[in-house]
Chain A
Amino acid sequence: MKFHKHIKEHLSLLKAHDIVRRYFIMNFFDGSLTTLGILSGAYFTNLNNIQMIIGATLGAGIAMFIAGLSGAYLSESAERKHQLRDLERAMLKNLEKSTIGQASKFVPIYTSIVDGISPLLASFVIILPFLFSHVFNDIDIKILFYISFAICFSLIFTLGLLLGKLSKENIFYGGIKALLIGIITAVIISLIGKI
């Protein structure tokens, strides 16, 4: 509880709530679409090897995790350092040990974790039916694909609803918009599968 309060204080000091939320939504969407891409590619090319599908999806998820973690940390910490130096110049004093100085170190770490974990989480959730495929011995791989697609489109739709709620527009319009992006992606990949 105390740690949660500490996070909230640091985020509000640098007004970073919006950035963290944006990173989460953007990268969760990225992770969902990338996983959809891998699954669609596998489905439309009739790939039947469950281990290969899991390996490719989690591999992409881990790559996105590291890319998000390092990319967000490097850019956010550079930006926060720049802002702190500007403030130090205005204050004519070193602010490294002040609460704002500590927040400037904490916020890039927190944002990069959110940025890295969100696509990995999306990949992991979507691929769950394949991860638990051994539980159902004789299950048709096509059913696993359908369940994963259903999870993926539900996640994309929910993300759209969330964006609609944030922008205070019609939330269903937001959901449908996001869903359309997912469907277009799957359709394009299905065309590649036919080549």
Chain B
Amino acid sequence: MATIKRLILDILKPHQPTVIKYAEDIANLDKSYSVTIKVIEIDDKTETVELVIEGQAIDFKKLESLIHKLGGSIHSIDEVSTGKNIIKHFYHDHKR
């Protein structure tokens, strides 16, 4: 069965917990996870962030429930990579 290797999510979150707490808690879900969070926009009470996560087999349900627990909302799934390898073309195009 194909597993999710890489995900890019657009998330709306309150200012607290900070992106550092988000990144740490998400990375702690699985030893194989690597996480990068980039702040895209800051408003009065919220911020929009782009979450990039890579791992051996990303458990989306666990990830989603953790984001909800931290008070965030997933606005959109902007990119998914599954299968044997991450296709480099997209990887480089979207790497910011």
Contacts and interface: CB of A to CB of B under 8 A. Distances in A.
Interface of A: 13-15, 86-87, 90-93, 95, 97-101
A118 B88 CA distance: 61
A97 B69 contact: yes
A95 B70 CA distance: 9
B78 to A, nearest CB: 20
Nearest to B68: A98
Contact of B69 (A90, A91, A93, A98): A98
A106 to B, nearest CB: 14
Contacts of A15: 16
Given A98-B71, A99-B71, A14 B45 contact: no
A87 B43 CA distance: 12
B71 A101 contact: yes
Contact of A90 (B16, B46, B68): B46
B12 interface: yes
A99 to B, nearest CB: 6
- Closest 8 CB pairs between A and B? A98-B71, A90-B45, A100-B71, A13-B16, A90-B46, A95-B71, A87-B14, A87-B45
